[in-house]
Amino acid sequence: MSGFSEDIKKFNGIYKLPVNTAPTLDVGVPAAERMAAFKDILLEEVHEIDEIIAAQKAGKDPLEVLTMLADLLGDIQVYCASEMAKFGLPLDQVLSIIMQSNFSKLGADGLPIYDERGKVMKGPNYWKPEPKLQAMLTEMTTTNSSSK
């Protein structure tokens, strides 16, 4: 487990937010309600991008713009990681599977494929992360159930 994952667990503990060690939808409030609140928080953060864009267009000092961007992106990562801890989703393992899936997007020549916006497209060896995520979560759920 990374230091960041440990810090998130500490953060959630300090702020009296759930920290589950196994995958669960039991987070103290209905899961759909929690996800809706999380969506609202993320949307607030996403709208901060407009302030950063305006600062860049207004000719603000590049270091100030980069500072604003670092704060925004860091906050989004902390919010996401905190939610994962609430739902008992293992941050490091989830991100590892997703990154391995992203690496599978390379073209047959081993190079990235981009669309006109610069988004990475899926190559011929791409595999979806969901089956591996589900297998990992099933194993965690099964292991946790059998240890009780």
50 has pLDDT over 90: yes
Quote the strand ranges of 1-148, DSSP E.
none
pLDDT interval class at 52 (50, 70, 90): very high
Residue 5 has pLDDT above 60, yes or no: yes
Backbone angles phi, psi at 102, to 5 degrees: -60, -40
Residue 108 to residue 113: CA distance in whole angstroms:
10
Collapsing DSSP states into helix, strand and coil, what is residue 114?
strand
Residue-wise pLDDT for 63-115, tens only, equals 999 999 999 999 999 999 999 999 999 999 999 999 999 999 999 999 999 99
Q: Residue for token digits 């000092």? A: 61
d(CA 94, CA 80): 12
Tokens of 24: 């669960």
C-alpha to C-alpha distance for 22 and 136, rounded to whole angstroms: 11
Using one digit for the tens of pLDDT, what is the confidence trace for 55-64? 999 999 999 9
- Give the chain's largest Cα–Cα span: 59
